[in-house]
């Protein structure tokens, strides 16, 4: 496919060489994946009324982009990673109807989602399309970024499991995605592994290499999600992801209402009404989640070992069936450098750990 270099003027985009580091008063676009990433925490079982109520509250609060879908994105509902309660069509139609001011966003990882899923999402009114790839595999985004542009959506691209490669490689991969037409690029700390210095180094490298907005998406396994998001803004990111009450896989995501309050105090402009956002966060707490995310032992080990936070529930289930310590399973998955979509490695790791346990017991 021929490399695309189209540009489109939309809220949150910029042209020209960016300044490194955001000065006080800089505009920060808040991208809210509560109704997508939060699905991981409840087995992708959010219902239409729950989703509609939160979307309306987020819209009233002035959230720029409300993202919706199965936790792993368009087309991802499956036996392997979990069947969603609602079909993509129902989720998209529900949220499109609920939003009067906010833009609707969707997330898609090639391999789970297809061009058909992408066309369907834009047909339902998706304004912002995020195409995701493993941190060293930007090439897989080319086709779908081009399609998103052809369909008239804002095309963004993000690199998953970004702790698994160095800042220079991330900057190189982001540059490639801009060449494919991405109008914003960035990284996801999918395992909640980063400390602020890690984020600063990576976002600075990306911001210096591209001339489009830079995205950061944090997870809270080491209790640094808000601090990491602030570090990202200070290093040049202008699109930050965050979820109400941190609703998300494992220890959860960057907590939306806390992030907005901190950015407001720092003098950054988010366009979000904090009082209305607190109402939305209370609604999320009461109606979307069984309980707010916490940093328990399993979530902490997930972050330390660099394993995708979405593995928490299947690892706990496997540990219960096998009698293994879930911390040992996460350690083995970390050794194997497991990434999202490789949930089948959980069973492999369990079999090998059980075999090792039996061998040890037999030798006594």
Enter the DSSP assignment of 241.
E
Enter the DSSP assignment of 150.
H
Taking the chain, what is the end-to-end CA distance rounded to the nearest angstrom?
61
Cα distance between residue 270 and residue 264, in whole Å: 7
In the residue annotation, 219 being an active-site residue is answered as no
Catalytic residue among 40, 44, 134, 268: 40
Pairing type for strands 29-33 and 65-68 reads parallel
Cα distance between residue 101 and residue 11, in whole Å: 12
Q: Answer for the pair 199, 234: CB distance below 8 angstroms, yes or no.
A: no
Query: Which of 302, 296, 298 has its CA nearest to residue 333?
Result: 302
Cα distance between residue 278 and residue 159, in whole Å: 30
221: tokens are: 């396994």
Catalytic residue IDs: 40
């Amino acid at each position: 496919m021929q490399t695309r270099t189209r540009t489109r003027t939309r809220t949150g985009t910029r042209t020209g060489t960016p300044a490194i580091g955001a000065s006080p008063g800089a505009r920060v676009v808040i991208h809210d994946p509560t109704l997508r990433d939060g699905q991981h925490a409840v087995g992708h079982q959010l219902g239409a009324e729950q989703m509609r109520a939160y979307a309306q509250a987020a819209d009233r609060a002035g959230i720029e982009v409300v993202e919706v879908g199965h936790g792993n994105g368009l087309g991802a509902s499956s036996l392997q990673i979990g069947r969603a309660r609602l079909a993509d069509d129902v989720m998209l139609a529900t949220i499109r109807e609920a939003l009067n001011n906010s833009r609707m966003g969707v997330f898609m990882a090639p391999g789970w989602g297809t061009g058909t899923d992408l066309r369907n999402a834009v047909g339902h009114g998706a304004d912002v399309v995020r195409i995701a790839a493993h941190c060293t595999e930007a090439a897989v985004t080319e086709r779908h970024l081009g399609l998103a542009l052809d369909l008239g959506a804002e095309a963004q691209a993000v690199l998953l499991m970004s702790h698994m490669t160095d800042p220079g490689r991330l900057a190189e991969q982001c540059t490639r995605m801009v060449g494919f037409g991405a109008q914003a690029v960035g990284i996801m700390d999918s395992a909640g592994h980063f400390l602020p210095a890690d984020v600063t180094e990576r976002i600075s490298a990306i911001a210096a290499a591209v001339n489009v907005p830079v995205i950061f998406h944090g997870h809270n396994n080491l209790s640094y999600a808000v601090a990491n998001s602030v570090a990202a803004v200070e290093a040049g990111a202008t699109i930050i992801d965050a979820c109400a009450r941190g609703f998300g896989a494992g220890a959860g995501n960057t907590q939306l209402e806390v992030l907005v309050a901190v950015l407001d105090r720092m003098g950054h402009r988010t366009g979000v009404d904090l009082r209305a956002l607190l109402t939305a966060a209370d609604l999320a707490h009461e109606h979307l989640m069984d309980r707010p995310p916490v940093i328990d032992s399993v979530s902490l080990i997930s972050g330390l070992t660099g394993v995708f936070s979405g593995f928490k529930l299947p690892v706990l289930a496997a540990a219960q069936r096998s009698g293994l310590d879930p911390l040992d399973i996460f350690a083995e998955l970390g050794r194997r450098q497991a990434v999202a979509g490789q949930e089948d490695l959980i069973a492999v790791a369990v079999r090998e750990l059980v075999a090792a346990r039996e061998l040890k017991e037999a030798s006594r």
